[in-house]
Amino acid sequence: MTRQQLVEQIRNKQTYLIVGLDTDITKIPKHLLTKTDPIFEFNKQIIDATKDYCVGYKINTAFYEALGIPGWEAMEKTAAYIPATHFRIADAKRGDIGNTSSQYAKAFFETLQFDAITVAPYMGADSVLPFLEYKDKWTIVLGLTSNTGARDFELQKAGDELLYEKVLRTAAQWGTADQLMFVVGATQASEFANIRSITPNNFYLVPGVGAQGGSLKEISEKAMNKEVGLLVNASRAVIYASGEEDFAVKAMLIAKEYQQEMAGYL
Amino acid sequence: MTRQQLVEQIRNKQTYLIVGLDTDITKIPKHLLTKTDPIFEFNKQIIDATKDYCVGYKINTAFYEALGIPGWEAMEKTAAYIPATHFRIADAKRGDIGNTSSQYAKAFFETLQFDAITVAPYMGADSVLPFLEYKDKWTIVLGLTSNTGARDFELQKAGDELLYEKVLRTAAQWGTADQLMFVVGATQASEFANIRSITPNNFYLVPGVGAQGGSLKEISEKAMNKEVGLLVNASRAVIYASGEEDFAVKAMLIAKEYQQEMAGYL
């Protein structure tokens, strides 16, 4: 999906919501557990219910890997089920030496056909460039994350700036804004204006609204650019809106609430 | 596997070699491609041939994920085939917010029953602690990696030290040396004495000898401590020693060469 297609979809649907499929077998409604593949069944119903209110889905690979092969199967089926009109993100936080990152890129861009993957920057340029070689795919580099651990390194001094600032400034040179996004946590709203000044043109994938407490209003006001430049992810707040048989309807209602709030900021 | 068991195994077998199973379907001998599971068949023969000369195996998850479900199956079978006497490392470079890292820990410590996993530190304490909650398992945090990209952030100033030094110093507080190791690349030999002074008691997992050019002699002289404290990984140099039918015998001979050199340093 090109940047232009993504922006058009946001404008047309008046939403920049990404629904996060952090699907946990212990949290999905009990009546699904009798299905052949409860995780996929849950995801399928969530996707059917929410697709008009979001522009994409983010699969958190950890929740699938925890189940072993059945989990990987559920991930593959889910990725294939997401409509081609929607942006498909593998939230995988991968990154390794070049020949290994090439294998991860192959896994998520070719074998699983995601549009985007999240990547950890610690190991530097040659750990990220193999992903960026896929010019028609998106590499989403961790910038400033939503968790308290961001204080340990990301928000520490690195020369005359903070580490996350150095990461943004450096990684932004590795690819164009047509293929490179950054993860910026919604809980870091006080840094958003600064982040936007460092990377004026890149899209941000913003987790951390909902269960983690970030404010959609604040990040939208501070970080939107003229091409929107924001994809805001909600996972638990949407998919676990109800733990009962009405889970898909409740997920739809929450997704719709986000969409309506987002329409007001666009 | 406890630290004491690991050290005893090193002393008894006079080796601290880890064989890295970076098994690439395009690089294994052609005659294996007719087998039901060529990757597992290759790994099985490599393990059978090298187990007397190494103390463990490191599975590079990227190479398995690139193949999708058949790859994940080959990884599961390989992990189960590694003798329980040997140290089983998932080289996965995972790390995410707490509830997600918990799922990765479950994937590799419970579902796949590895003894250890490599973890990226960028996101800070709460992204690593879920792994360390498994007190009888090992968490191996990236310190200073072997690739040229290490210069981009790891070797940059972070306050009054370098970033990798801050990571070592900080992460060493998150767990004991009985459960926490660091990845230190063999190509970074000039930093080894400094690294050992910062983390005197931790084991290091050292990739980068062989194909990447690091010197076994230099790292052994500079970084060994009184409990050895080193696990040196060789992947491509061992497993691709021959691309023909004699690949397992040739892998055994290279592993034996490493073992004999290591015996001289012990």
Is the CB of A122 less than 8 angstroms away from the CB of B101? no
How many C-alpha atoms does B228 have within 13 Å on its Cβ side? 26
Phi, psi dihedrals of residue A245, rounded to the nearest 5°: -65, -20
| A40 neighbourhood in chain B, CB within 8 Å | none
User: How would you write the pLDDT of chain B (266 residues) with one tens digit per residue?
Assistant: 999 999 999 999 999 999 999 999 999 999 999 999 999 999 999 999 999 999 999 999 999 999 999 999 999 999 999 999 999 999 999 999 999 999 999 999 999 999 999 999 999 999 999 999 999 999 999 999 999 999 999 999 999 999 999 999 999 999 999 999 999 999 888 899 999 999 999 999 999 887 777 889 999 999 999 999 999 999 999 999 999 999 999 999 999 999 999 999 99
Q: Which tens digits make up the pLDDT trace of A152-201?
A: 999 999 999 999 999 999 999 999 999 999 999 998 888 999 999 999 99
Q: Where are the beta strands (DSSP E) in chain A?
A: 17-21, 56-60, 87-94, 116-119, 138-144, 157-158, 161-162, 180-184, 204-206, 230-234
Radius of gyration of chain B (CA): 18
The helix or strand, by DSSP H or E, that contains position B13, with its residue range, turns out to be helix B3-13
Predicted local confidence at residue A214, as pLDDT? 80
CB contact set of A261 (below 8 Å; sequence gap of 6+): A216, A217
Q: Nearest to residue A220, comparing CAs of A209, A235, A236? A: A209
Q: Are B201 and B175 in contact (CB under 8 A)?
A: no
User: Is the pLDDT higher at A222 or at B211?
Assistant: A222
Nearest-Cα residue of chain B relative to residue A110: B66
Q: Nearest to residue A121, comparing CAs of B150, B32, B82? A: B150
Supply B89's token pair. 């490392």
In chain A, % helix, strand, coil (3-state, to 5) comes to 50, 20, 35
SS3 state of residue A180: strand
Q: Are B56 and B89 in contact (CB under 8 A)?
A: yes
Angle between helical axes of B69-81 and A69-81 (0-180°, round to 10): 170
Q: In one letter, which amino acid is B134?
A: Y
Q: In Å, what is the CA distance from A171 to each residue of A58, A117, A177, B109?
A: 22, 15, 11, 33
- For an interface test with B, which of A27, A75, A100 has the most B Cβ atoms less than 10 Å from its Cβ? A100
Q: Average the pLDDT over each of A116-125, A214-223, B79-88, B117-126 and give the range with the smallest value.
A: A214-223
B110 min Cα distance to partner chain A (Å) = 8
Q: Nearest to residue A225, comparing CAs of A265, A252, A187? A: A265
* Chain centre distance of CA B77: 18
Residue A125 has pLDDT above 80, yes or no: yes
Residue whose structure tokens are 């090992």: B138
Predicted local confidence at residue B213, as pLDDT? 77
Q: In Å, what is the CA distance from B6 to each residue of A36, B3, B58, B113, B178?
A: 42, 5, 15, 17, 10
Phi, psi dihedrals of residue A234, rounded to the nearest 5°: -125, 130
What percent of chain A is predicted at pLDDT more than 90?
Answer: 95
Q: What is the mean pLDDT of residues A132-150?
A: 97
Q: Which tens digits make up the pLDDT trace of A233-265?
A: 999 999 999 999 999 999 999 999 999 999 999
Residue A145 has pLDDT above 90, yes or no: yes
| B100 neighbourhood in chain A, CB within 8 Å | 22, 60, 62-63
| A96 neighbourhood in chain B, CB within 8 Å | 60, 62, 91, 93
Domain A3-265 is of which CATH architecture?
Alpha-Beta Barrel (3.20)
Say how many CB pairs under 8 Å bridge A and B: 192
Beta bridge partners of B157: B162
CA angle A3, A107, A46 (to 5 degrees): 65
Predicted local confidence at residue A166, as pLDDT? 98
DSSP state of B266: -
**Cβ burial, residue B10 (10 Å; 0-12/13-18/19+):** buried
Predicted local confidence at residue B19, as pLDDT? 98
Predicted local confidence at residue A191, as pLDDT? 92
Residue A213 has pLDDT above 80, yes or no: no
- Separation of alpha carbons A60 and A75, rounded Å: 9
Q: Which tens digits make up the pLDDT trace of A22-81?
A: 999 999 999 999 999 999 999 999 999 999 999 999 999 999 999 999 999 999 999 999
Q: Count CB-CB contacts under 10 A for residue A14.
A: 14
- Separation of alpha carbons B90 and B238, rounded Å: 18
Is the CB of B111 less than 8 angstroms away from the CB of A150? no
Q: Would you kindly state where each structural domain of chain B is located, as residue ranges?
A: 3-265
Predicted local confidence at residue B189, as pLDDT? 86
